Each structure stands twice: as C-alpha cells, then as structure tokens.
A and B are shown apart, each in its own frame.
Chain A
Amino acid sequence: MIEVNEDWCKGCRICIERCPVNALEESDKMNKRGVRPPRLKKVNECNYCRLCELLCPDLAITVFTDDKKKESRKTLLRPVGGRK
C-alpha cells in the first residue's frame, strides 16, 4: 500500500506516469492546492519497487508492504552501475 501526505502533493503525476506496473491513479478527492493526489488502483500489481517513493519531488509518498508489517521491507538502496 502507499501513504500520501496529501497536502504536500502538487499533482505532477510523476508517480503515476513512471510506475512500471501502472498501479497508481488520481484519487477523486482534491487536496488544499486543488490537485488530486495519487492512490493505488483497486486492482493493481504493485510489487513495492518504491520508484514512486524515490521519485516524488515533494517527498510525499511512502510505500509499505502491508499495514501490519510496516518496517519489514529492507531498504532497496543497493544500486548498481556507474564507473568504479
């Protein structure tokens, strides 16, 4: 699941557009700024890749595996690439 700090969202849709499995959509509720923050689709294939969380320019999205085990997932920051 994802948690969105709704008032920080500026509605850039980067999370929605760049989700590899197309799991996000705009919610039907507007926030204070008059934009629609993202939410998970009812049926989705979210695999917790956390790309939306890492790309959000306003640090407004947090990805959890599920409600009960909020901290079970290890950080995914084991990047590769670049000359060494």
Chain B
Amino acid sequence: MVEVKTADQLNKKFLRDGMWPTIFCNGCGHGVVLEYTLWALEELGWDMDKTVFASGIGCSSRMPGYINADGLHTTHGRAIAFATGIKAANPDLNLIIFTGDGDCAGIGGNHFIHAARRNMDMTVIMINNFIYGMTGGQLAPTAPLGSIATTAPYGNIEPPFDICNLAKALGANYVARWTVTHPYQPIKSVKDALSKKGFSLVEFLAPCPTAFGRRNKLGDIKKHWEWYDNNTILIEDYERIMNYGTEKEKEEVKDMFPIGVFQDLNNPGFFERYEKLVDRVMGGSPKTPVKAKAVVQK
C-alpha cells in the first residue's frame, strides 16, 4: 500500500466518489474534523472495509456520506444506539459516530449517557458548534449563556451542557475536547480515541459562521476562527490556575473552554465483559456476587 503523505493522496484513498464537494457552508468546521479523522485513520492504517461510520441528523451527520466506507445515516439522535447494534452483530467492526451538539447532547442525550455508562466499544466524534445549523440556527443545549439563536432572540438563559465532563463522570475510557483551529493535537487525540477499547469521545469546538457567528456578532470567518483561539485554554493550565492562580488570573480564564484530554482509562469495554459473561455461563457458573462499589475506577 502506498503511504499517504499529501491531502491529494488522502482524498483518493478515503473519499466517496460522487459526493464531493461537501454541503457545508463557507468557513464551517465540519470539513476540518472530517480531514482530521481521515488523517488519524491513515496513521492507524485501518481496513476501511471493517470500519463503519454512523450518524444521526444534522450537518455533522452528513459526514459518513463523504467517506468511502459503510455508513449508516440514521434518525435524529439515535446513531449511538444503531451503532450498538452493528457492533453487537459483528464485534470485528470498528464503529465511528459523527454527531453534533443537538444530535448528541439534545435529542440523543439518553443514548449517549448509556453508551458511555456501558463503556460500549465505539468512538463518538461530537462536533459542537453551539447551534442547530442545518435547521437555520435554533438554540442548542450547548449554547453559551447569552448567545443569540432564532429561538432565543433575547439571549440564551439556560446553562449549557458540558458533554466532556458528563462522559468523564460516566467512566468513559477516553474523553477529549479540542478546537478545529489547530490540527496536530486533535489528530493525535482522534487516533488515541480510535485505538481505545470501550467508549471514547472527542468533542470538537467548531465554528458555524452562518448560523452562530453571524447572529452573535463574532465577525467574519477569520475573526470567528480567532474567537476559538482566544476563548479556549489547555485543561492543564486551566486546572493549575483554578487551583493555584491569583484572583485576577482566575477571573481571566473562568469563562474559557478547557481543551485537552479529560480522561484516559483502560477499563474493559462492554463486549469484553459480555464475552466473559458468555464464558462464565457456558462454564456452568451463571451467578456472580453483587458488588456494592461505585462505577468509575481511575
């Protein structure tokens, strides 16, 4: 196999013929996430016959269509549940789910929670643009306080959803958040997430100049992209400042988005546990003692 070194070669190897160019707007971050994922897949050298992409509804959910692999474009919010079934039917397949903030944190929140709790063997790539972009800019569950949406014309008063901390609390094996504006860390992070057993989540903060930036006066595409640079901070720095910083430093960073790797564990995934269950039952000891201990083991 020829080693892929350039975007041109990457395109020829991974893109689905007849679907390009994408439907994404000018300056949108989704295409960038797609490219990072493809570079990560290239680094891993996975067989694309054994890699399945699933998605729900929304801008993010069009992404499986652009990749030359099996793809299931499902109903709104349910992609993770569909992927659970695919994986159960054929555990040899690698499952990647593209989802958005509305799809994953809004309508699909319950499926997300339970897949993370089960440590279901799959990678969720959630693209968070703070808005329902495809339907024209309605309020998303991740929208920052005060942001404007067509259904929040006087500013959002609901505290936003922090999906990374949620996944962390549920004991997901790998949790990370990045912005799309810098390539190297996210590519490595997606690669790490994909190679994990169990549940892994990579959240991308992605610009939506059309529906979010324009309404919230974040300026043109250039300024909107810079907004992400200026409003994020590495989680290591964030935690250090919050623990040991001065009041002034704390004030400066308290409203920023921490980015980085939130959690990196190696607990057994669902199917590893299920295989053990089958072995136990077939071996004639169908019962186990109840453990009162809580869930997450660090």
Contacts and interface: CB of A to CB of B under 8 A. Distances in A.
Chain A–chain B contact at Cβ < 8 A: yes
Interface of A: 3, 5, 7-8, 10-14, 17-18, 51, 53-64, 70-71, 73-75, 77, 79-84
Contacts of A73: 5
B187 A10 contact: no
A29 B236 CA distance: 46
A8 B20 contact: yes
Interface in B178-216: 181, 183-185, 187-189
A interface, over-half SS: loop
Given A82-B188, A82-B261, A83-B235, A57 B28 contact: yes
B45 interface: no
A14 B221 contact: yes
B6 interface: yes
Nearest to A35: B26
B32 interface: yes
B225 A59 contact: no
Given A81-B185, A84-B264, A57 B6 contact: no
Nearest to B39: A77
List the 3 closest pairs (A to B, CB-CB), nearest first: A57-B31, A79-B184, A54-B183
A57 B225 contact: no
Contacts of B26: 10-12
Nearest to A80: B184
28 contacts: A8-B20, A10-B21, A10-B26, A12-B27, A12-B221, A14-B225, A54-B183, A55-B183, A56-B35, A57-B22, A57-B30, A58-B21, A58-B24, A59-B11, A74-B5, A75-B3, A75-B4, A77-B39, A79-B183, A79-B187, A79-B188, A81-B185, A81-B234, A82-B176, A83-B235, A83-B236, A83-B260, A84-B261
A18 to B, nearest CB: 7
Contacts of B28: 57
Given A12-B26, A14-B221, A51 B235 contact: no
B67 to A, nearest CB: 11
Contact of B185 (A11, A63, A79): A79
B166 interface: no
Nearest to B11: A59
B49 interface: no
Contacts of A64: 6
A61 B11 CA distance: 10
Interface in B243-298: 260-261, 264
Interface string B14-45: 01000011101111111110111001000100
